[in-house]
């Protein structure tokens, strides 16, 4: 089974985030007032072949720890979004798309 997984990586608390600070300063200039705590991170979407959801989650956490995030400055969270629609899987894939699953 293929699982669609979202890995979000963000700076750990206390680590300076110059990109977030710059965006936060820019927003009022566009009329977006009252916005605080802007932080910039990264998001990775993956399709992972795994026996079940727990296994998919475990593999993604390992990937995040070893490569996707730098544990010195970043934290990561892993969310299994669901079963990935298999491309080229004929009827099943088409049906999902046709049903407005997305």
Partner 1 sequence: MTAKIGVVVFPGSNCEHDVVKALGLFGSARVEGELVWHGERSLAGYDAVVLPGGFAHGDYLRPGALARFSPVMEALAKFAADGGPVVGVCNGFQVLTEAGLLPGALQKNRGLRFLCTTVGVEVCTTRTVLTSESVVGAKLSLPINHFEGNFTCDPATLERLQAEDRVVLRYTANPNGSLDDIAGVCNEEGNVVGLMPHPERACDAMTASTDGMGLLESLVVAATRRAAVPV
Phi-psi group of 2: left, alpha or beta (phi > 0 → left; psi -120 to 50 → alpha; rest → beta): beta
Beta bridge partners of 77: 8
For residue 3, which of 41, 36, 49 has the smallest C-alpha distance? 49
Q: How far is the CB of 8 from partner 1 (least distance, A)?
A: 14
Beta carbon nearer to partner 1, 20 or 93: 20
CB of 72 to partner 1, least distance (A): 4
Binding site for partner 1 (CB under 8 A): 14-16, 18-19, 22, 67-68, 70, 72-73
Task: Quote the least distance from Cβ 85 to partner 1, whole Å.
Answer: 26
């Amino acid at each position: 089974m293929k699982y669609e997984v979202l890995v979000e990586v963000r700076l750990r608390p206390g680590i300076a985030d110059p990109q977030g600070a710059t965006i936060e300063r820019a927003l009022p200039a566009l009329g977006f007032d009252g916005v605080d705590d802007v932080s910039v991170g990264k998001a990775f979407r993956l399709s992972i072949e795994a026996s079940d959801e727990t296994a998919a989650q475990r593999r993604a956490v390992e990937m995040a720890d070893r490569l996707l995030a730098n544990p010195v400055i970043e934290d990561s969270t892993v969310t299994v979004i669901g079963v990935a629609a298999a491309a080229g899987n004929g009827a099943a894939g088409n049906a999902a798309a046709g049903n407005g699953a997305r």
